[in-house]
Amino acid sequence: MWHNIIEITNWFGELAERYRLIKDFNRAAKHSFIGGVAPTLLEAKITRGESLYRHAFSKWMSGGFRIKALSGKPLQKSELVEIGSVVLDNEELTRKLISLGWDTLEVHSNHGFQGLKWALKDYANIGGFIE
């Protein structure tokens, strides 16, 4: 019986860490935009994700980490790739996202229908050597 309580506590602790990461990302993006460091305001949220990108630690129905660029115009594919690269080039962040149950990185603009998706496991150097 007590073992079940520990599992529930761990699950809620991990859930809180997921929401804290989203909140911290959004706060940092807001300050970067206000300070003129970033040309557009970014906002992260949890989505369903791409089922083809699932891994052993994926959260059911909430494996997507979506970044929406509030640019006021449809973004070009190259601009979406550039935003995605900020996350994917940071191996530590990518591994943290995976460990918290995300499997998909999505980048969209707030105008238009174009968006991009990446499998996070392809950018985490899993099974390789850590430098």
pLDDT in tens, 71-94: 888 899 999 999 999 999 999 999
Q: pTM value?
A: 0.84
Q: How far is CA 129 from CA 58, 77, 100, 103, 126, in A?
A: 23, 31, 21, 21, 8
φ and ψ of 24, to 5 deg: -65, -40
pLDDT, one tens digit per residue, over 85-126 is 999 999 999 999 999 999 999 999 988 788 999 999 999 987
For residue 54 the two structure tokens come to 């699932």
Q: Which of 73, 78, 80 shows the shortest CA–CA distance to 111?
A: 73
Q: Which of 78, 120, 100 shows the shortest CA–CA distance to 24?
A: 100
CB atoms within 10 A of CB 26: 16
